[in-house]
């Protein structure tokens, strides 16, 4: 079926090496639009993960029946249908959550990560691998959304987890963390430009980290001269 | 002066520093103990050495002959013995050595037999051959073989411009030449006119040389044809050929073309004088005027034998302490030299000794702030800041799109840059890199073609071998079959078959032989082979196209 | 040539057949889900609407099915509407006790501000909520109840209390405060609420006389 | 419901027809990518990449089966160009294949040559001339410096001579600008 | 080092120094109008900018001194300081300057590499993030009769003013007033009778504009800037505003008013002329300037903020590579043949 090592590799790939948000820079549109707070980012990240897992599994399942020339329409069809089903289901059965994420769920259809993974991975691999890859990629995205949301929320409003009550009900209000009390608010962080700036800083940090790691490994090799 | 003058774009006014050397009279030639005469002094192919070590040569004797059309001869500047034909340091920015003829002078300065030429008694082509063999090349700096420029060829050059601009700071050798030898210059002009059939002759001299203008005007008045001596505004690089053409005529030399394409030919005053010496006296180009100036006690103009080590000149002009280097040429476009030991060549118009106070080290380079002062100063009206950006980033294709090869490397942009960026260095680097890549590309194309042809040849040989083998086995089988003819009546038709096979085998053999003996590309190719060749051809054409896309320099330069 | 055309034709038929299968399966799946979820969704949406109405019309005031009482009002300058807008009538027994109106403040800093206003039968505000706006975040968005309780100061007011000339922001000499540096947005809201009250007082009879079982809008 | 299915069916059929038709009708013959790759490769035909020549390696890159860092004579420059062309990250040369060397040409010691023609057969660009039992010589202008002729020579008379820089081949260097302060590494 | 071996006297420090000198008349008028508080703002911005510049240079491995003395950071600081409202709190000044130097300048690669004008990036960040504080202008001398003393200004800047006092001394700028009035469906004439609108560009503010104009002309005379950008910028403002005003004088302000609202003069002569983020070709500069002028009026009229100079310039900064590419001037040798001779 699938070995432990393979699973580990897939996760390392999805979470770090090929991270959709920081490395592949895919699906930036929802990434930037939704990441104004931790709760928003986390919710959309998880929703995207769900859609990716479902669609990657489905695409992988039918991959042998789809001729190359119509693979994109078929994948889009599958993804769109799945997203709509999830959209309707959420609307019907978890309405409060739907109220928060409602307008973003249909956007997942257009998120290129979903199609990219379907085409680049699921169309060439077995269903189980594909689902795990999709989950790893989705979690990688969620991770970035979470960090971005945290940065923007703290910088913008001085809080964390605001809006948690919309997901878990009014009593969850007490989980909201006021990191900086009496904070003036830095509007830019919440506005779209703030998303670009924060993402830019995250990417820079990631690259810097990578470069440093590389340097370390290089320095570790003794130079004979 | 009624002539309408045109102002070219850009230009700068660096301090002139001409009075230091222009006040002193011309110094007669010095005779050094050793002359080092490079064989590559002009553009085009270097001269081929025709003397041997130990051979005695006379002054004016040819020691290197012109090699090809774009080339000129090289001569001994004084009499003496050839002590070496070897690689020696030459005045080149690379500081690499080049092939030189070394002569130990004997102090007798004995001339070879000189025969004056009569331009009107010989054909123009003959005259040009003589000019080439007398080693005449442009003395303005580019040292292009003059015989080539004096051949109007398909172009008609109604306008002849004599360049007395001398816009570089410090240099005064042309000034002095015009002041002292105006008549000889005009004589050279007359010969040029004869060779080119020019209708209009203009002499452009910068206004900061009033004496030279007066002398040249007086000399022009003594001629039996019209020569207009025009003072032009003093601005660097007003003496650049393209800039002078524009100033005098208002015409621009189209990008990527030569001035002859618009009917104009330009010569330096020194070239005209050298031509006059060559034709009237049969003297080859063995000496020229050189300004020795800068950090020396007595800046002065010298008549210098080609091959004289610069150190000799500097010593004569009075060496001073604190010199920081020697430059051949002016401060804007001159060539920094590794040492003063290199010899004066035909291109040497100035030996400039640097010192810290005359030429303080340039301030530290800062990033480009895109102020476009360079664009304002560029006489070629380029956008130096963009060229710099592309050259620095290694984006040579874009640099070419922005007309890198129209840059004349005059240094104006460097001069005005508030960030003190060595812009010209970047352009020279980019140009040289583009040429090198072009060369590599061509080598790669050649290798690809040869490799593909080899593949094709091997393939064909294999096929032929296989065919031969097949024919042989068939023939053998046929023979075996014919060995037992009456075994059964049913073999009758097979007998015919065997005969047919025999014939076929013979034919194939013949054909194979023919293919073997015939030159490689024969007309006896199977359709299949033909198709393979066609395919390869088509692919090659495509690759060539791809490979050449970003490189149109070849046509430009 | 003919071969190529035939091959292309064959291939296109094959691909379209495959795509057809996927389309049919996908659509069927959607249709099925839609059918299954529709009642739930309708219910949720109505509950949502009701939650919003609850904020401007306390449920203790009335006992009718508020959602069923929805009617459409023609466009009106006082309501700031260019299209028909919704109105709900709350009744206790048969007696109309209050209405909820949709209104628009057209002169916000960045365009329209959509309001939902509850008015008792005798012309007192029971509550105002901003349902949609595009005011500058951090500057004009304090009119949103989620951001600040500013909007609550309308509750209990009427055309008489405060008097008409005090229906302005404090900076213009009125009764309603506004935050420094951002007076355009509150001005627009105050004016819209006042206009809605005026609309109500002029149309009161017609509005309240509307049939108890009004034609529900689609 | 029926309308929705109808629309989807129509769309599906239309798109399927068009795509299926075009896939066959507008098929691109040959591999234009391989040609672009080939145009970048230095054409030494040395085979150090593990393919029998530059073109086969180009085909392998274009089809995705070979990595872009296998061309030793092309060096980092070629890797960078290939990375640009293919839109992938450049990577260091595969060190296992050999170190880049200065450009050289083969030189046959004519005293030692026995005229065995083995080198002629090995030369991928026909840059060696000579016949059996006759002395061979390298056409320096056409030699790509691939070293394929060195190994087959039974008398070891072929050596690689680096091309020395001379005046006509001299290049301007990139202006060295010390804008940044150089941090001296004190690591031993 | 190859030729050339000599260089002219121009230097980056000299260019930047002249910009600072040309700002002095404007600063003088500012002090006269609004009191010496601006000097505190300028000082704070300068210190912050130099500190940030030094820190960033160090972090990026560049030598600090030669880059600090080029004065480019000081120019950025001054331009930002002069764009801020006269009573901007200290943290606003520091935040804006830090953003300008660290993000807009050094994260883009430092001197010469910034795509956007750093001062305007700082300004844009502030106006987007702190719209309330960015409108705290003290009333000009001519209206209030007295300008704030240094101590009062310092108190306002460092938050020492008693609550409420700030509201008392602040006033809307002419542009703000016009916009608010127009939004309330008043006509231009109705709004313009208010005392804040002086002779032609708003009481006091108009003299600030004149001072900036004078400084700009000085820079032009010293060949620090070309004429193309300022002229085209002013023409863009004047023509666009004039066209709108001609179309409906009731809804659109007069062109002279728009010209002499001080941000236009500052923008036209000091900010749009920033060589690094501006266009480099002569025709490109005309387009760049005109576009910025036009956008200024468009943003003032229909945009979300009362003034549009900063955003107009930033928007045009984005267009610079495109403009430059399509406005390359003909080179020597190309005019005669019309086009390139090769190919």
Poorest-pLDDT segment among A214-223, B422-431, E4-13: A214-223
Do the chains contact at D179 and E61, CB–CB below 8 Å?
Answer: no
Is the pLDDT reported for residue E310 higher than 90?
yes
The whole-model pTM stands at 0.81
Candidates B273, B40, B82; CA nearest to B162 is: B273
CB C125 within 8 A of CB C157: yes
The strand pair at C95-108 and B80-89 is best described as: unpaired
Tokens of C101: 């109106």
B268-291, pLDDT tens digit by residue?
999 999 999 999 999 999 999 999
Residue with tokens 């050839």: B82
D105 and D157 within one domain: yes
Window from B486-490, C36-40, E317-321 with minimum mean pLDDT: B486-490
Handedness of CA B171, B177, B180, B183 (dihedral sign): negative
D123: CATH: 3.30.70.20
Nearest chain B Cα to E224, which residue?
Answer: B371
Q: What is the mean pLDDT of residues D17-46?
A: 82
CB atoms within 10 A of CB B300: 24
pLDDT tens-digit map of D134-156 = 778 888 888 888 888 888 888 88
Structure token digits, residue B369? 């702030």
pLDDT over 90 percentage in chain C: 11
Q: In this structure, are residues B170 and B21 in contact, taking their beta carbons and an 8 Å threshold?
A: yes
- What pLDDT does B541 receive? 61
The alpha-helical segments, DSSP class H, found in chain D are 2-25, 32-40, 54-62, 75-86, 118-122
- Per-residue burial over B410-424, b = 16 or more CB atoms within 10 Å of its CB, e = otherwise: bbbbbbbbbbbbbbb
Tokens found for residue B363: 């301030």
Going by DSSP bridges, is the β-strand pair C125-132/C85-92 parallel, antiparallel, or unpaired? Answer: unpaired
Q: Which of C11, C26, C31 sits opposite D20 (nearest CB)?
A: C11
- In chain D, what residues touch A70 (CB-CB under 8 Å)? 15-16, 19-20
**Which helix (H) or strand (E) is C128 found in, with range?**
strand C125-132
Contact C155, C163 (CB under 8 A): no
pLDDT band at C27 (very low <50, low <70, confident <90, very high): confident
Q: Rounded to a whole number, what is the largest CA-CA distance in chain D?
A: 92
- pLDDT band at residue E49, thresholds of 50, 70 and 90? very high
Q: Which of B70-79, B256-265, B267-276, E285-294 has the lowest mean pLDDT?
A: B256-265
Beta-carbon count within 10 A of B401 CB: 16
Chain A residues contacting E, CB < 8 Å?
Answer: 184, 186-188, 191, 193, 197, 200
By C-alpha distance, the chain E residue nearest C135 is E304
User: B379, B350, B345, B138: which is closest to B240 by C-alpha?
Assistant: B379
Sorted by where each begins, the domain ranges of chain B are 19-29+129-355, 365-476
Chain E interface includes B370 (CB < 8 A): yes
User: For chain D, what is the domain count?
Assistant: 2
- CB contact at 8 A, B117 and B130: yes
Cβ–Cβ below 8 Å for E333 and B359:
no
Chain E residues within 8 Å of chain D (Cβ atoms): 60-63
d(CA B449, CA B439): 15
Write the CB contacts of B533 (distance below 8 Å, at least 6 apart in sequence).
B456, B525
Q: Spell out which residues of chain A touch residue E130, defining contact as CB-CB under 8 Å.
A: 184, 187
- Provide the token pair at D24: 């066959």
Closest Cα in chain E, distance from residue A105 (Å) = 29
**Neighbouring subunits of A (3+ Cβ pairs under 8 A):** C, D, E
The answer to whether residue C63 scores a pLDDT higher than 80 is: yes
Residue C214 vs residue C174, higher pLDDT: C174
pLDDT at D180: 62
Query: B424: part of which helix (H) or strand (E)?
Result: helix B423-483
Check residues E163 and C131 and name the one with the higher pLDDT.
C131
Closest Cα in chain D, distance from residue B496 (Å)? 43
| Residue-number span of the structural domain to which D66 is assigned | 33-97
Give the dihedral of Cα atoms A162, A166, A167, A173; nearest 10 deg.
50
Q: How far is CA C163 from CA B10, B236, C64, C157, C168, in A?
A: 76, 83, 33, 10, 10
pLDDT of B512 higher than 70:
no
Helix (H) or strand (E) holding B62: strand B62-65
Task: Tell which wins on pLDDT, B525 or A91.
Answer: A91
Percent of chain B with pLDDT over 70: 86
Q: Which residue intervals of B206-251 are DSSP H helices?
A: 210-221, 241-249
Distance CA B144, CA B260 (A): 14
CB contact under 8 A, D15 and A73: yes
Q: What is the pLDDT of residue C18?
A: 87
- CA gap A112, A25 in Å, rounded: 10
* Residue with the larger pLDDT of the pair A108 and E228: E228
Report the gap between the CA of B100 and the closest CA in chain D (Å). 13
Interface contact D125-B546, CB threshold 8 A: no
> Which subunits count as partners of chain B given 3+ CB pairs below 8 Å?
D, E
Rounded to whole angstroms, how far apart are CA atoms E282 and E273? 12
| Helix, strand, coil percent values for chain E (each to nearest 5) | 65, 0, 35
Residues contacting C87, CB < 8 A, separation 6+: C70, C71, C72, C73, C99, C100, C101, C102, C207
pLDDT of residue E14: 92
Provide mean pLDDT across the span D167-182.
72
Tell me, what DSSP letter sits at residue C145?
A: T
The answer, yes or no, to whether residue B377 has pLDDT greater than 70, is yes
Give whole-number Cα distances, A24 to A54, A203, E214, in Å.
Answer: 21, 11, 52
| CATH code for the domain defined by B19-29+129-355 | 3.40.50.11540
pLDDT in tens, A20-63: 878 888 878 777 877 888 888 888 888 889 889 999 999 998 88
SS3 D145: coil
pLDDT for residue C161: 82
Residues A183-196: pLDDT tens digits? 767 878 878 888 88
**How do strand D104-108 and strand D128-129 relate by DSSP bridges?**
unpaired
Give contacts of D12 with chain A, Cβ < 8 Å: 73, 77
Chain A contacts of E128, Cβ < 8 Å? 187-188, 191, 193
Report the half-sphere exposure of D150 (CA within 13 A, side-chain side): 13
**Which of C7, C15, C27 is facing D16, going by the closest CB pair?**
C15
> Is any Cβ of chain D less than 8 angstroms from the Cβ of C18?
yes
User: Measured between CA atoms, how close is D91 to chain B, in angstroms?
Assistant: 19
Nearest to E131 among C107, C136, C183 (CB): C136
CATH number at residue D69: 1.10.15.40
Going from the C-alpha of D99 to that of each of A76, B352, D75, D123, E109, the distances in angstroms are: 48, 45, 9, 21, 35
pLDDT tens-place string over residues B309-322: 999 999 999 999 99
DSSP E57-77: HHHHT--SHHHHTT-HHHHHH
The pLDDT tens digits of the residues spanning B79-135 come to 999 999 999 999 998 888 999 999 999 999 999 999 999 988 999 999 999 999 999
Q: Give Cα E56 to chain centroid, integer Å.
A: 24
Encode pLDDT of A147-175 as tens digits: 999 998 888 878 888 777 766 767 777 77
- Residue spans of the domains in chain A: they are 4-220
Alpha-carbon distance E90 to E155, whole Å?
10
Distance from CA of E68 to the nearest CA of C (A): 37
For residue B495, the model assigns a pLDDT of 55
Terminal CA-CA length for chain D: 77
Question: Does residue A76 contact residue A142 with C-beta atoms inside 8 Å?
Answer: no
Whose CA is closest to A110, among A59, A46, A55, A43? A55
Distance, in angstroms, between D57 CA and closest chain A CA?
24
Confidence of residue A132 (pLDDT cuts 50, 70, 90): very high
Number of Cβ within 10 Å of residue C218's Cβ equals 4
Predicted local distance difference test score (pLDDT) of residue E267: 93
Task: Answer whether residue C212 shows pLDDT above 50.
Answer: no
Is the domain of D53 the same as that of D86? yes
Strand, helix or coil for residue E120:
helix
Q: pLDDT of B433-464, one tens digit each? A: 999 889 888 888 888 888 888 888 889 989 99
Instruction: Tell me how close the Cα of A70 comes to any Cα of chain D, in angstroms.
Output: 7
- Give the closest of D1, D11, D16 to C12, CB-based: D16
Q: Bigger pLDDT: A8 or E160?
A: A8
Give the pLDDT confidence of C120-130 residue by residue, as tens digits. Answer: 988 899 999 99
Among B6-10, B177-181, D146-150, E133-137, which stretch is predicted with the lowest mean pLDDT? Answer: E133-137
Please answer yes or no on whether C44 and A92 come within 8 Å at the CB atom: yes
Distance CA(E172)–CA(C173), nearest Å, equals 17
Q: Residue C49, CB half-sphere, CA atoms under 13 Å: how many?
A: 17
For A159, the enclosing helix (H) or strand (E) is strand A159-160
pLDDT tens-digit readout, D122-136: 888 888 888 887 778
Asked if A touches B (at least 3 Cβ pairs < 8 angstroms), the answer reads no
D169-184 burial, b at 16+ Cβ within 10 Å, e below that, comes to eeebeebeeeeeeeee
Rg (CA), chain E: 21
Contact between A78 and C47 using a beta-carbon 8 Å cutoff:
no
Establish how many alpha carbons lie within 13 A of residue B233's alpha carbon, considering only the half-sphere containing its beta carbon: 15
Which pLDDT score is estimated for E168? 64
- Asked whether the predicted pLDDT for residue B496 surpasses 60, the reply is no
Q: Among E1, E110, E331, whose Cβ lies nearest the Cβ of B367?
A: E110
Instruction: Please say if the pLDDT value at position E198 is more than 50.
Output: yes
Contacts of B551 in chain E (CB under 8 A): none
Verify whether the Cβ–Cβ distance E128 to A186 is below 8 Å: no
* Contact present, E and B (at least 3 Cβ pairs less than 8 Å): yes
User: Where does the pLDDT of residue B491 fall: very low under 50, low under 70, confident under 90, or very high at 90 and above?
Assistant: very low
ipTM value:
0.79
C78 or E162: which leads in pLDDT: C78
**D-chain residue closest to B539, CA distance:** D35
Residue E133: list chain C partners with CB under 8 A: 181
Structure-block tokens of residue D162: 């680096």
Residue D28 resides in a domain: no
Q: Judge whether residue C211 has pLDDT over 70.
A: no
Most E CBs within 10 A among B254, B262, B383, B392, hence the mutation to make, goes to B254
- Searching chain B, which residue's CA lies closest to the CA of residue D38? B543
pLDDT digits (tens, 9 = 90+) for C160-171: 888 888 888 877
What local confidence, expressed as pLDDT, does residue E87 receive?
81
Q: What is the pLDDT of residue E340?
A: 40
The span from the CA of B487 to the CA of B497, in Å, is: 16
CB contact under 8 Å between D19 and C15, yes or no, is yes
Inspect the interface and report whether the beta carbons of D43 and B445 lie closer than 8 Å.
Answer: yes
Q: CB of C19 within 8 Å of any CB in chain D?
A: yes
State the alpha helices, DSSP H only, in E130-204.
Answer: 141-144, 150-157, 165-169, 174-183, 188-192
Q: Are residues D74 and D118 in the same domain?
A: no
For chain D, the chains sharing at least 3 beta-carbon pairs closer than 8 angstroms are A, B, C, E
pLDDT for residue E100 is more than 70 = yes
> Which of B428, B448, B454 to mutate: most D Cβ within 10 Å?
B448
Query: Between chains, do C109 and E183 touch, taking CB under 8 Å as contact?
Result: yes
Q: Are E291 and E320 in contact (CB under 8 A)?
A: no
Instruction: Report phi then psi at A63, rounded to 5.
Output: -60, -30
Q: Which residues contact E292 (CB under 8 A, 6 or more apart)?
A: E233, E236, E267, E272, E309, E312, E313, E315, E316
Sheet holding B200-206, edge to edge: B228-232, B200-206, B159-164, B264-268
Q: What are phi and psi of B293, to 5 degrees?
A: -150, -175
Angle formed at CA B337 by CA B331 and CA B340, multiple of 5 degrees: 110
Both tokens of B380, joined, read: 């070629």
Residue D153 dihedral angles phi and psi, to the nearest 5°: -65, 120
Residue E208, pLDDT above cutoff 80:
yes
For residue A40 the two structure tokens come to 């928003």
């Amino acid at each position: 079926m699938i070995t432990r090592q393979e699973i580990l590799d897939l996760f390392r790939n999805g979470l770090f090496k090929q991270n959709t948000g920081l490395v592949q820079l895919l699906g930036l549109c929802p990434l930037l639009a939704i990441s104004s707070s931790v709760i928003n980012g986390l919710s959309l990240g998880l929703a995207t993960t769900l859609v990716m897992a479902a669609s990657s599994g489905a695409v992988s399942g039918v991959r042998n029946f789809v001729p190359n020339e119509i693979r994109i329409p078929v994948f889009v069809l599958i993804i769109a249908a799945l997203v709509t089903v999830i959209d309707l289901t959420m609307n019907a059965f978890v309405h409060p959550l739907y109220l928060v994420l409602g307008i973003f769920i249909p956007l997942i259809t257009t998120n290129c990560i979903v199609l990219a993974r379907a085409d680049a991975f699921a169309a060439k691999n077995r269903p189980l691998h594909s689902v795990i890859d999709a989950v790893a990629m989705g979690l990688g995205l969620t991770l970035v959304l979470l960090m971005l949301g945290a940065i923007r929320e703290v910088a913008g409003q001085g809080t964390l987890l605001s809006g948690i009550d919309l997901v878990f009900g009014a009593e969850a209000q007490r989980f909201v963390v006021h990191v900086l009390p009496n904070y003036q608010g830095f509007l830019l962080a919440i506005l779209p430009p703030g998303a670009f700036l924060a993402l830019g800083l995250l990417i820079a940090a990631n690259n810097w980290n990578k470069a440093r790691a590389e340097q370390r490994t290089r320095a570790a090799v003794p130079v004979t001269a | 002066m009624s002539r309408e003058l045109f102002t070219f774009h850009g230009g700068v006014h660096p301090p002139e520093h001409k009075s230091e050397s222009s006040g002193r009279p011309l110094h007669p030639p010095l005779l050094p103990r050793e002359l080092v005469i490079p064989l590559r002094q002009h553009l085009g192919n270097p001269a081929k050495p025709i003397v041997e070590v130990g051979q005695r040569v006379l002054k004016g004797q040819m020691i290197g002959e012109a090699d090809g059309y774009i080339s000129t001869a090289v001569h001994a500047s004084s009499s003496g013995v050839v002590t070496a034909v070897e690689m020696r340091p030459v005045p080149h920015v690379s500081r690499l050595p080049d092939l030189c003829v070394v002569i130990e002078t004997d102090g007798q300065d004995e001339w070879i037999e000189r025969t004056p030429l009569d331009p009107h008694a010989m054909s123009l082509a003959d005259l040009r051959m003589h000019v080439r063999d007398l080693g005449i090349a442009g003395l303005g700096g580019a040292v292009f073989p003059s015989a080539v420029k004096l051949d109007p060829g398909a172009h008609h050059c109604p306008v002849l411009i004599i360049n007395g601009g001398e816009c570089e700071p410090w240099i005064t050798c042309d000034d002095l030449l015009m002041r002292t030898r105006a008549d000889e210059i005009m004589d050279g002009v007359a010969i040029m006119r004869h060779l080119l059939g020019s209708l209009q002759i203009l002499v452009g001299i910068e206004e900061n040389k009033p004496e030279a203008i007066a002398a040249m005007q007086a000399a022009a008045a003594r001629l039996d044809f019209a020569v207009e001596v025009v003072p032009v505004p003093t601005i660097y690089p007003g003496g650049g050929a393209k800039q002078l053409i524009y100033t005098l005529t208002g015409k621009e030399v189209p990008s990527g073309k030569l001035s002859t394409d618009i009917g104009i030919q330009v010569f330096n005053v020194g070239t005209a004088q050298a031509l006059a010496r060559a034709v009237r006296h049969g003297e080859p180009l063995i000496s020229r005027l050189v300004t020795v100036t800068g950090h020396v006690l007595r800046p002065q103009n010298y008549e210098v034998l080609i091959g004289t080590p610069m150190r000799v000149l500097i010593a004569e002009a009075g060496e001073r302490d604190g010199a920081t280097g020697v430059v051949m040429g002016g401060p804007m476009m001159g060539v920094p030299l590794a040492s003063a030991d290199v010899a004066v060549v035909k291109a040497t118009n100035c030996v400039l000794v640097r010192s810290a106070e005359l030429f303080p080290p340039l301030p530290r380079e800062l990033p480009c702030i895109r102020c476009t002062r360079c664009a304002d100063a560029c006489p070629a009206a380029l956008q130096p800041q963009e060229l710099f950006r592309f050259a620095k980033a290694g984006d040579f294709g874009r640099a070419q799109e922005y007309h890198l090869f129209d840059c004349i490397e005059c240094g104006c942009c460097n001069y005005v840059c508030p960030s003190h960026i060595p812009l010209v260095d970047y352009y020279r680097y980019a140009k040289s890199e583009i040429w090198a890549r072009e060369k590599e590309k061509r080598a790669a194309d050649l290798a690809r073609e040869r490799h593909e042809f080899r593949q094709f040849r091997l393939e064909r040989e294999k096929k032929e071998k296989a065919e031969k083998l097949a024919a042989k086995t068939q023939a053998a089988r046929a023979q075996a079959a014919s060995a037992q003819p009456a075994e059964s009546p049913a073999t009758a038709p097979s007998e015919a078959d065997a005969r047919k096979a025999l014939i076929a085998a013979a034919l194939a053999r013949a054909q194979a032989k023919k293919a073997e003996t015939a030159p490689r590309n024969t007309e006896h190719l199977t359709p299949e082979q033909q198709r393979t060749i066609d395919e390869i051809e088509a692919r090659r054409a495509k690759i060539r196209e791809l490979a050449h896309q970003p490189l149109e320099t070849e046509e430009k330069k | 040539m003919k071969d190529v055309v035939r091959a292309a034709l064959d291939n296109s038929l094959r691909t379209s057949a495959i795509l057809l299968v996927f389309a049919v399966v996908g659509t069927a799946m959607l249709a099925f889900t839609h059918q299954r979820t529709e009642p739930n969704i309708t219910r949720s949406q109505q509950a949502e609407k009701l939650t919003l109405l609850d904020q401007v019309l306390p449920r203790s005031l009335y006992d009718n099915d508020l959602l069923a009482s929805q009617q459409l009002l023609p466009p009106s300058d006082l309501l700031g509407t260019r299209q028909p807008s919704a109105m709900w009538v709350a009744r206790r027994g048969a007696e109309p006790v209050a209405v909820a109106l949709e209104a628009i403040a057209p002169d916000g800093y960045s365009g329209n501000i959509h309001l939902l206003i509850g008015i008792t039968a005798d012309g007192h505000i029971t509550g105002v909520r901003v349902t949609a706006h595009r005011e500058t975040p951090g500057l004009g968005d304090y009119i949103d109840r989620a951001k600040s309780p500013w909007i609550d100061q309308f509750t209990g007011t009427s055309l008489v209390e405060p008097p008409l000339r005090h229906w302005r922001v404090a900076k213009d000499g009125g009764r309603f405060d506004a935050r420094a540096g951002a007076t355009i947005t509150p001005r627009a809201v105050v004016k819209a609420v006042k206009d809605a009250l005026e609309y109500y007082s002029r149309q009161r009879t017609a509005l309240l006389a509307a049939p108890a079982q009004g034609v529900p809008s689609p | 419901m029926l309308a929705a299915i109808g629309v989807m069916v129509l769309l599906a059929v239309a798109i399927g027809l068009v795509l299926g038709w075009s896939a066959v009708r507008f098929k691109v013959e040959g591999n234009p990518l391989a040609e672009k790759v080939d145009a970048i490769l230095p054409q030494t035909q040395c085979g150090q990449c593990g393919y029998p020549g530059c073109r086969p390696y180009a085909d392998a890159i274009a089809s995705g089966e070979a990595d872009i860092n296998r061309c030793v004579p092309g060096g980092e420059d070629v890797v960078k160009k290939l990375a640009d062309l293919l839109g992938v990250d450049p990577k260091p040369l595969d060190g296992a294949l050999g170190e880049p060397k200065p450009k050289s040409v083969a030189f046959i010691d004519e005293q030692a040559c026995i005229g065995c023609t083995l080198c002629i057969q090995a030369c991928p660009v026909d840059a060696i001339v000579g016949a059996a039992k006759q002395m061979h010589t390298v056409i320096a202008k056409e030699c790509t410096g691939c070293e394929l002729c060195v190994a087959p020579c039974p008398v070891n008379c072929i050596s690689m001579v680096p091309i020395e820089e001379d005046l006509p081949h001299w290049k301007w260097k990139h202006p060295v600008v010390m804008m940044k302060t150089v941090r001296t590494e004190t690591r031993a | 080092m190859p030729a050339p071996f000599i260089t002219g006297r121009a230097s980056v420090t000299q260019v930047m120094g002249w910009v600072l000198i040309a700002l002095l008349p404007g600063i003088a008028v500012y002090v006269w109008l609004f009191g010496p508080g601006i000097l505190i703002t300028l000082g704070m911005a300068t210190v912050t900018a130099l500190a940030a510049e030094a820190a960033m240079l160090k972090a990026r491995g560049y030598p600090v001194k030669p880059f600090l003395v080029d004065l480019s950071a000081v120019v950025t600081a001054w331009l930002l300081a002069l764009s801020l409202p006269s009573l901007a709190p200290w943290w606003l000044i520091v935040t804006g300057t830090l953003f300008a130097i660290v993000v807009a300048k050094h994260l883009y690669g430092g001197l010469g590499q910034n795509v956007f004008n750093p001062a305007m990036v700082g300004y844009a960040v502030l106006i987007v993030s702190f719209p309330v504080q960015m409108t705290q202008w003290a009333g000009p001398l001519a209206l209030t009769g007295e300008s704030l003393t240094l101590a009062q200004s310092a108190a306002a800047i460092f938050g020492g003013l008693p609550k409420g006092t700030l509201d008392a001394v602040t006033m809307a700028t002419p542009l703000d007033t016009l916009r608010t009035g127009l939004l309330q469906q008043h006509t231009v004439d109705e709004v313009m009778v208010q005392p804040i609108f002086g002779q032609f560009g708003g009481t006091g503010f108009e003299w600030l504009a004149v001072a900036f104009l004078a400084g700009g002309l000085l820079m032009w005379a010293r060949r620090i800037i070309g004429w193309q950008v300022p002229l085209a910028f002013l023409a863009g403002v004047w023509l666009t505003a004039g066209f709108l005003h001609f179309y409906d004088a009731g809804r659109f302000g007069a062109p002279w008013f728009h010209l002499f609202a001080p941000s236009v003069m500052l923008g036209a002569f000091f900010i749009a002329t920033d060589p690094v983020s501006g266009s480099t070709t002569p025709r490109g500069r005309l387009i760049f300037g005109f576009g910025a002028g036009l956008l200024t009026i468009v943003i003032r009229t229909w945009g979300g903020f009362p003034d549009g100079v900063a955003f107009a310039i930033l928007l045009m900064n984005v267009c610079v590579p495109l403009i430059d590419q399509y406005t390359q001037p003909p080179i020597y040798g190309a005019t005669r043949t019309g086009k390139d001779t090769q190919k």
